[in-house]
Structure 1
Amino acid sequence: MSLTQFAKRFESAASLLSIAGRTLLGLETNPVPGEWTHITKVDPEGEKRLPLLFPSYLSHTSAVSVGGSQDVTDENTEQTFELLTDSGVTAFHEPSEATHVTEKTRDHANFLAVPEVLNGDSESLVGTLGKGIDYVREDLGPEILEQKTGLPLSEFLGDRAGDFVAGMMMDEAVFEAYIIMNVDSAAAREANVTEEDLLSPQEAKERALAAQHHLESEIIYLEYSGTFGGDEAVEMLEAIDDGVTWSQIWYGGGLDNSENAQRVLDAGADAVVVGDAFHRVAELEAELFDRAREEFDGDASAEQLQSWVDETVDIEDSEAVNYLSTIPEVTEPEQRAIEYLAAGLEFGLAVADVAEELSDPTPSEIRTAVSDRQFAVESTFRAIPGADANGMVEEFAGGLLADHFDLEMPERAVAAHFGIDL
């Protein structure tokens, strides 16, 4: 038997075993964990800020999806991944452009999620993917091989070097098959989804089956993008769930309370995806920080701030509760919200107090001032599994101070992602 014949038989046998495992034997071969019930979308875009206590909020989510469609670059994507890695959260990359994928993002991301739109035009299904593969073959692939081996392998192997990396990355990637049902959304505009492209529940089920059996998409994603799909979404999910057995079913769009989140989970979604509600927490925190600086002179205790937040904010209707209540595992989201908002304010006020003690500092003096100061939030971060509590405190505080004093420090890039500004 020739090597070529052996390779063909081996590949055929492996494919048959994979199909048998996930259909006849019911084995869990999908690389996307079935226990995930809540995904938080974190957008690197400058306008989409993070609350200062984002590690605590994200400690309750199953995983974080990093990506966005506007003002996203490879640089701010790398910064976002570095922040999330320190916080101990599981994060994967859903790029809107191939150039957002770098060696750093690959190192940080749990996996690469490639979107493909089932009811858009052909560009949104294969055109964008083709451009991405071409970028990997021509640019990223040879660069990765050279960095890993220290040798200019593309000079010896030619296009085969890029083909190897492109094939490896596509084999490792997870594919998200989108069904977009909000024609007024940015996602619909990008995929050219119009009223004529909207699907009935039966059509959605058929597209989902094609995605599972032909495209082998690990995720079927029903996307209403910014608005809740209501009864229509429930009916769509029930139909998709009736057909799909291997792919994970995700729902995203307009979720900001526990009732709607549970409703789509009960209808067949394996996980809910929440993005806007999370970023709006940063807006609330920034607003409260400005008010707290006027209310409190210098440091304030956690107890003082919790009482003040409870009195100042309509907590049941707050952005913090809206986000936390979409996570099935979170009990008493109102109390959690008060604790997290107060802890974030306490940290911000303490850093502002350090800023008042400094005058035209150097980067070294900022780092010394931060390391000499005991920040109460460190104990909060220490309770998060896998988080580098001390490292996060020094990086966050140093970044806020560097930004305040207009100093060029690596930490300053971190501060650019926070809603709070000293």
Structure 2
Amino acid sequence: MSSPFYGNWRHVFKLDPDRPIDDDRLAAVCLSGTDAILVGGSSGVTFDNTVELLSRIRRFETPCALELSSAECGVPGFDGYFIPMVLNTEQGGWIAGRQAEALRDYGRLLPWEQVAGEAYIVLNPDSTVARLTEAKTDLTADEIAAYSQVADRLWRAPVLYLEYSGTFGDMAAVRRVRSELTQARLFYGGGIRTAEQARQAALSAHTVVVGNVVYDDLEAALSTVEAVINSAKEQDHVF
């Protein structure tokens, strides 16, 4: 069986269609050496702004994937699609309802060999995604591990995403989750603003997602790419 489209990703930049980014900054991100661009956001994502961002990214050869979180942003032409599900919420619409709506409208059009389920554990209570989904974020390390087992062993979700969105997370908890996974690839996102934080995240998760700092401090964002690449050389000494 061939590797999934995200199977070799170590570093990813995440861009929000609802946030403006000028051409020079976008070019720097796409030419940075990152493995991929992930397009998605927690609010304000529409068909029009997603199409507009994709068309600009397509000037470069960097692979680009979309988080298809609602029917409003179903745009063809991406290299891959993730269907996000929030595990730690009691609002069932974020577990399967919105996903079913999106697939009702676009499922017949999706290249299913390039589609992956993405199980989120949302861990920053102050983040937009936590408020929007009413996520239960005050989880212990044992509870985080339990949710990860639901995704990995029960649901067999191909991707597990630990989302600290806006704050740098507990790397010990991230490493524990990774050590207990049987088949899922672990994505980490949240609060990465320095090369050192990117290095720590890369030693703890399979894939590091860098987002907000792209808009706030481009030089710092670009420094995370080399940090993650260099961390690959350390992996044999950690795991």
Q: Same fold by TM-score, threshold 0.5 exceeded?
A: yes
TM-score, L = length of structure 1? 0.50
Unaligned runs of 5+ in 1: 1-27, 142-164, 281-318, 332-422
Aligned to 1:209: 149
- Mapped to 1, the partners of 2:149 and 2:2 lie a distance apart of 17
Query: Could you say which residue in structure 1 is the equivalent of 2:211?
Result: 275
| Partner Cα distance (2:15, 2:6) in 1 | 19
Output the CA distance in 2 between the equivalents of 1:171 and 1:32.
9
TM-score (norm 2): 0.85
Task: Spell out structure 1 runs of 4+ moving beyond 4 A.
Answer: 168-172
Instruction: Look up the match of 1:344.
Output: none
Aligned length: 227
2: distance between equivalents of 1:330 and 1:209? 26
- Matched letter for residue 95 of structure 2: L
Question: What whole-Å deviation, never above 9, does each CA across 1:169-202 have from its counterpart, x for those lacking one?
Answer: 66642111111110111010121114xx432222
Whether the aligned pair in 1 keeps the contact of 2:9 and 2:207 (CA below 8 Å) is yes
1:131 equivalent to 2:71? Answer: no
User: Does 2:232 align with 1:320?
Assistant: no
* CA spacing shift, 1:236–1:32, aligned 2, 3 Å: farther
1:171–1:330 CA distance, 2 compared to 1 (3 A): closer
Q: Cα–Cα, structure 1 residues 33 and 69, in superposed 2: closer, same or farther, change >3 Å? A: closer
- Per-residue CA shift, 1:332-389, capped at 9, x if unaligned? xxxxxxxxxxxxxxxxxxxxxxxxxxxxxxxxxxxxxxxxxxxxxxxxxxxxxxxxxx
> If each structure's helix is expressed as a fraction of its own residues, which one has the higher value?
1
Match for 1:246 among 162, 168, 183? 183
Provide the C-alpha distance between the structure 1 equivalents of 2:135 and 2:153, rounded to a whole number of angstroms: 23
Paired residues for 1:182-331 under 5 Å = 182-194=124-136, 197-229=137-169, 233-267=170-204, 269-280=205-216, 319-328=217-226
Which residue is 1:352 aligned to? none
Name the structure 2 match of 1:90. Answer: 63
Please tell me whether residue 111 in structure 1 is matched to residue 80 in structure 2: yes
Q: Deviation string for 1:114-148 (max 9, x for gaps)? A: 111111122211122222233x2xxx46xxxxxxx
**Aligned-residue offset at 1:44:** 1.1
RMSD across aligned positions (CA): 2.3
In 2, Cα distance between the equivalents of 1:279 and 1:236? 28
- Given that 1:256 and 1:325 are in contact with CA atoms closer than 8 Å, whether structure 2 keeps it comes out as no
> Cα 1:40–1:240, aligned 2, differ >3 Å: closer, same or farther?
same
Report the AA paired with residue 129 of structure 1: Q
Residue 205 of structure 1: how far off its partner (Å): 2.0
| Contact 2:122–2:129 (CA under 8 A) maintained in structure 1 | yes
Instruction: Please give the residue correspondences for 1:30-109 in structure 2 after superposition, counting only pairs within 5 Å.
Output: 31-45=4-18, 47-59=19-31, 60-101=33-74, 105-106=75-76, 108-109=77-78
Distance 1:330 1:132 in 2: 33
Flag the 1:178–1:36 CA change in 2: closer, same or farther, 3 A.
same
Deviation of 1:48 (Å): 3.0
Give 1 or 2: higher strand fraction.
Answer: 2
Please give the alpha-carbon distance, in whole angstroms, between the structure 2 residues aligned to 1:172 and 1:250: 17
Deviations 1:278-317 (A, max 9, x none): 122xxxxxxxxxxxxxxxxxxxxxxxxxxxxxxxxxxxxx
Change (3 A) 1:192 1:171: farther
